[in-house]
Amino acid sequence: MENIQYKAFVVEEIDGKFIQTVKTLNVADLPAGDVLVRVHYSSINYKDALSATGNKGVTKQYPHTPGIDVSGMVESSESEKFKKGDKVIVTGYDLGMNTAGGFGQYIRIPAEWVVKLPEGLSMKESMIIGTAGFTAGISVLRLSELVKPENGKVVVSGATGGVGSVALSLLSKLGYQTIAISGKQEESDFLHALGATEIIPRNDFQVVDKRPMLSSQYAGAIDTVGGAILENILKGLKPLGAVTTCGSVSSTQLNMTVFPFILRGISLIGVSAQNYPTHLREPLWQKLANEWKPNNLLDLYSEINIEEIKSRIDLILEGKLKGRTIVKMID
């Protein structure tokens, strides 16, 4: 077992540059862990792109195999929870950050990182959802606790991206009217197909407005980008409105007053899929496999192989990747 060779997309730091190549590795060199998984599918996320280009805030040591998402089959297990042949999902925790990730054909990880694939999802479908879709699921779950469909329209920023596209689909399925914020007007048909009832150009939300509050228009929002867009959404929320936020691709800064919070009673909810507790992961995956399963899941993705990862990483860093990209890892 320990002499199995496999292919992996490896990032190496050479003379201060980060080089990405597909290499042959050995299972014996994987980190210690309870469960060895044969990876069938992975997917590409913004965090993978950061890891693959040397962001030390994501990955501290190189050489490294990124890939924060995995669906696959248990090859061996030291945990009673799993047995050889079990179909599983692994997302979040340290996978693909400082632990060898899903861009390799095998991973070895702690048992508490592993969730059994729920009935209703194939391994491919689970990666179309992936960390991005799971983050969208958490966002919709948290938002729905405070904002109901009858309260008004919900804004989704970064709407053509991985999180935004799944969030639009989920909100539409649950009966919300949605406004998609996008810099890609050529993707209007795609956004309407996901359920967007209105599309607003990203530039309209990027204008810095120094007023502490704007006219109240939106019941809620799912923000995936941060920065001025998040500021303007918060300033324009209706009383008791709520926003979930999970990204900072636009900016990590939030430059505004507390007035919308204390005068309109609005809420800002941070969302992180990385350390979402296992006892909450399993029920949410069940929802995503059943009553929350996006109707148009198969319209959300494109599929590539391990040799094509580098080109997709370049696209995601340029903000040009649409929907979800899954990586078929099994030969």
Q: How far apart are CA 83 and CA 227, in angstroms?
A: 45
Q: What is the CATH number of the domain that holds 97?
A: 3.90.180.10
- Based on the fold, state whether residues 258 and 304 are members of the same structural domain: no
Question: Please, what is the Cα angle at 306 between 182 and 136, to 5 degrees?
Answer: 35
- Based on the fold, state whether residues 65 and 171 are members of the same structural domain: no
Q: How far apart are CA 242 and CA 218, in angstroms?
A: 9
Per-residue pLDDT of the chain (331 residues; tens, 9 = 90+): 568 999 999 999 999 899 999 999 999 999 999 999 999 999 999 999 999 999 999 999 999 999 999 999 999 999 999 999 999 999 999 999 999 999 999 999 999 999 999 999 999 999 999 999 999 999 999 999 999 999 999 999 999 988 999 999 999 999 999 999 988 878 899 999 999 999 999 988 888 788 999 999 999 999 999 999 999 999 999 999 999 999 887 878 899 999 999 999 999 999 999 889 888 999 999 999 999 998 888 888 999 999 999 999 999 888 888 889 999 999 8
**DSSP assignment string, 118-155:** PTT--HHHHHHHHHHHHHHHHHHHHHHTT--GGG--EE
- Based on the fold, state whether residues 249 and 304 are members of the same structural domain: no
Residue finishing a domain among 220, 249, 270? 270
Q: pLDDT value at position 210?
A: 87
Alpha helix ranges (H) inside the chain: 46-52, 123-144, 162-173, 188-194, 202-206, 227-235, 259-264, 278-289, 309-317
How do the residues of the chain divide into helix, strand and coil, expressed in percent and rounded to 5? 30, 30, 40
Q: How far apart are CA 322 and CA 162, in angstroms?
A: 7
Amino acid at 310: K
Q: How far apart are CA 237 and CA 213, in angstroms?
A: 9
Bridge partner list, 35: 77, 109
Name the pTM for this structure: 0.91
Residue 201 lies in a domain: yes
- Based on the fold, state whether residues 112 and 80 are members of the same structural domain: yes
Residue 289 lies in a domain: no
235 contact partners, CB below 8 Å, separation of at least 6: 209, 211, 212, 213, 214, 256, 260
- The total of structural domains in the chain comes to 2
Q: How far apart are CA 175 and CA 43, in angstroms?
A: 28
- Based on the fold, state whether residues 27 and 100 are members of the same structural domain: yes
305 contact partners, CB below 8 Å, separation of at least 6: 327, 328
Q: pLDDT value at position 2?
A: 66
293 contact partners, CB below 8 Å, separation of at least 6: 120, 121
Q: How many CB atoms lie within 10 A of CB 108?
A: 18
Residues across the chain: 331
Q: What is the CATH number of the domain that holds 188?
A: 3.40.50.720
Q: How many CB atoms lie within 10 A of CB 65?
A: 24
Q: List the domain range (segments joined by +) for residue 239.
A: 132-270
Per DSSP, 93 falls in state T
40, two tokens: 């069938």
Residue 280 lies in a domain: no
- Based on the fold, state whether residues 105 and 137 are members of the same structural domain: no
Determine contact, residues 83/77, Cβ cutoff 8 Å. yes
Residue 284 lies in a domain: no
**60, exposed or middle or buried, with CB in 10 Å at 0-12, 13-18, 19+?**
exposed
Q: How many CB atoms lie within 10 A of CB 113?
A: 23
